[in-house]
Amino acid sequence: MAKPRASIPLLEVENVLPIVSKISLFGGLSEKQLYTVLRLLETVDYDRGEFIFEAGDAPSEIYIVWQGSVELVLDAKGSPLAVAVFGVGQCFGETAVIGIERHTAATVAKEDTKLIVLPREGLFGLWETDKELFGMLVLNIAREACRRLHRADEAMLHYFADRR
């Protein structure tokens, strides 16, 4: 299990605005909705090589790369296998939060990394306070999950086509 890190509220909102357009989770939000979400966000720093979460951990946050990069790592028969790298503006952990499923892979900071996190409680709290915003965020998460599934399908099709 990855060591829990203390996160702090996102106080530097102006500094994150330049990457907001790269964050698929925030697509289609009005300015008012965006600022509502920004008030829920926190930041956390990870050193190079540090685990953010490990396979089997319960999901607690949606992560957005602010600075640095993060590798998604599978344990393939005892050998770690990096299967994806998340860069600035990319999200991860969101499907586990929405699906209420334990993480199926680990994530590790590829370099010193600063993450923006949306705590699960903050996201689900929107259900009570702003159902329209909650619906937009969940729709954006579903779209991102579908994009990833499509890319995984394409990779599998190419893999099996090459094996014939």
Q: How confident is the model at residue 56 (pLDDT cuts 50, 70, 90)?
A: very high
CA 95 centroid distance within chain: 8
Global pTM value: 0.84
Considering only residues 81 and 66, tell me which one the structure prediction assigns the higher pLDDT.
66
State how far the Cα of 138 lies from the Cα of 8, in Å rounded to an integer.
Answer: 24
At 52, give phi and psi (nearest 5°). Answer: -90, -50
Q: What is the pLDDT of residue 58?
A: 93
Kindly list the domain boundaries of the chain, sorted by start residue.
8-158
The CATH classification of domain 8-158, taken from the options 3.90.980.10, 3.40.50.300, 2.60.120.10, 2.60.40.10? 2.60.120.10
pLDDT exceeds cutoff 80 at 38 = yes
Other CB atoms within 10 A of residue 87 CB = 12
Contact 123, 36 (CB under 8 A): no
